[in-house]
Amino acid sequence: MSDFTSRLKYVKLGDVLSVFLFLFAVIPSIIIKRIHLALWLICEDENEARDNGYWLYKHIKEKHPEIDAVYAINKKSPDYQKVKILGKVIQYGSLTHWIYYLAADKNISSQKGGKPNAALCYLLEIYGFLKNKRIFLQHGITINDTKWLHYEVTKVSLFICAAKPEYDYVKNHFKYPNENIKLLGFCRYDNLNNGKVNRKQILIMPTWRGWLARPAGRSKEYDNIDDFTKTGYFRHWNALLNNAELGNYLAKDNLKVVFFPHRNMQKFIGNFGIKSSNIIIAGWREYDVQELLNESAFLITDYSSISMDFAYMKKPLMYYQFDQEEFRTGQYGEGYFSYRNSGFGEVVTKEHELVSLIGQYIKNGFEMKNEYISRVSDFFCFTDRNNCERNFCAIEAL
């Protein structure tokens, strides 16, 4: 079965219905556009308001209420109410969302696919049918050669970067016009370092694996996708969570581990069996990623750019990379960032090495080592709380 054929099963009824919603939205959008001459439509993942989109929207409503801004989110989202109290909210993917999407002067999202329907909107945008300004706030700092973020694929008007090496890499390799890319910092960083650190909490947050979350024809080249519990991803993380030595560390010092897989892997969390009462398997509905990052004293991840957020706060972290070859060939090609030479913590590939280093960090009170503090200082340009305002000014100036 070809990749194309295997992907057809992911086409949903909603994708087909979106064509009709788009057609129904055209005339009403013309009317709305005449009423709302400078409309800003903001969103991120349809079920969340926790990322750069939310923090920008909150900043606009509190500091720049004159801006005609609307937020799109699923009304069933656990974050719906906290957005609704700020200002106008519309149902994600609805006819109203389509109308506002077509009418908006500025479409702003932390997700490349943050639109009423990603596939149909892609055609409208790339082939020039839609002439609005599109702003990509990003979900995480770009560190890999992600070809789907190149200018020829996105045609976004403004690509926001948060770190100097990232800005240089995107500018030199992604072929954006100079005026389309800005180094401004991420909006959500304004809420980091909020003083809520729990010195007893360790966060384990691995990123996703595309060949597991969205299986296609080539997935079997990287893993056994017939049974999730036989995959390398499950076996390594489940073994770590049940490691006896780690369990002893946690019990001895009354430490808590929160295991929070990437949202694309959350559908698999029911497979993990944990013996220790000091370990929590965290679901995305109950736990806010940014709050976990703020609260936790130590982070263990693999390749996730969420490590940048943690490093930004100058808190210690480690990278557990047991499947380097599969990840590089099956998901992201390597970019400018070397975890060993540029990263903000040790890189290990073996479970016993990881557990040993965890023990060392427990003994030193979870302090980030000087060499990694130095790397953080070199990586980030902005350490203030003006990221939202910088983003706002750049978007308004478009």
CA distance readout (Å), 135 to 106, 116, 159, 191, 393: 7, 15, 6, 21, 12
pLDDT at 145: 85
Between CA 143 and CA 153, with CA 148 as vertex, the angle to 5 degrees is 130
Are residues 288 and 211 part of one domain?
Answer: yes
- Say what angle helices 13-35 and 118-126 make with each other, to 10 degrees: 50
In a domain, 295, yes or no: yes
Residue 55 is which amino acid?
A: W
Burial track 119-156 (b if 16+ CB lie within 10 A, e otherwise): ebbbebbeeeebebebbbbbbbbbbbebeebeeeebbb
Question: Are 173 and 262 part of one and the same domain?
Answer: no
Q: How many Cβ atoms sit within 10 Å of the Cβ of residue 178?
A: 7
CA distance 69 to 54: 12
- For 81-105, give the DSSP string: HHHHTTS-EEETTSHHHHHHHHH-S
Write the CATH number for 343: 3.40.50.12580
Report how far residue 293's alpha carbon sits from residue 283's, in angstroms, rounded to the nearest whole number. 15
- Whether 1 is covered by a domain: the verdict is no
CA 285/CA 125 separation, integer angstroms = 32
Burial string for 195-233 (b: 16+ CB within 10 Å, else e) reads: eeeeeebbbbbbbbbbbbbebbeebeebbeeeebeebeb
Q: Is residue 266 domain-shared with residue 392, that is, in the same domain?
A: no
Same domain, 147 and 23: yes
Q: Is 128 left (phi over 0), alpha (psi -120 to 50) or beta?
A: left
Residue 117 per-residue DSSP state: S
Adjacent-strand bridge partners of 300: 204, 318
Q: Are residues 366 and 232 in the same domain?
A: yes
Contacts of 225 (CB under 8 A, 6+ apart): 211, 212, 215, 219, 231
Q: How many domains does the chain have?
A: 2
Residue 18 lies in a domain: yes
Spans in the chain with pLDDT lower than 70: 1-14
Tell whether 322 and 266 lie within a shared domain: yes
| 114 burial level (CB within 10 Å; 0-12, 13-18, 19+) | buried
Residue 190 domain-assigned (yes or no): no
Give φ, ψ of 248 to 5 degrees.
Answer: -65, -40
Q: Which amino acid is located at 351 in the chain?
A: E
Pair (362, 269) in one structural domain: yes
Range of the domain at 293: 198-379
The reported pLDDT for the residue numbered 2 is: 47
Structure tokens, 280? 């929590």
In the numeric block, the tokens 């409208």 are attached to 124
**What DSSP letter does each residue of 34-68 carry, written as one string?**
HH-TT-EEEESSTT---SHHHHHHHHHHHH-TTS-
CATH number of the domain encompassing residue 39: 3.40.50.11820
Q: Are residues 236 and 314 in the same domain?
A: yes
pLDDT in tens, 50-102: 999 999 999 999 999 999 999 999 999 999 999 999 999 999 999 999 999 99
What does the pLDDT look like over 259-304, one tens digit per residue?
A: 999 999 999 999 999 989 999 999 999 999 999 999 999 999 999 9
pLDDT score for 12: 66
What ranges make up the beta strands (E) of 219-327?
256-259, 279-281, 296-301, 317-320
- Check whether residue 274 and residue 213 sit in a common domain: yes
Half-sphere exposure of 140 (CA within 13 A, CB side): 16
**Torsion sign over Cα 98, 125, 143, 312:** negative
Query: Are residues 157 and 239 part of one domain?
Result: no
In a domain, 83, yes or no: yes
HSE-CB for 242 with a 13 A CA cutoff = 10
In a domain, 2, yes or no: no
pLDDT of residue 310: 97
d(CA 222, CA 60): 44
| Pair 117, 211 in one domain | no
Question: Is 216 found in the same domain as 168?
Answer: no
pLDDT at 18: 87
> How many angstroms separate the CA atoms of 16 and 231, rounded?
33
Residue 227 belongs to some domain of the structure:
yes
Please indicate, yes or no, if residue 3 is contained in any of the structural domains.
no
pLDDT at 363: 96
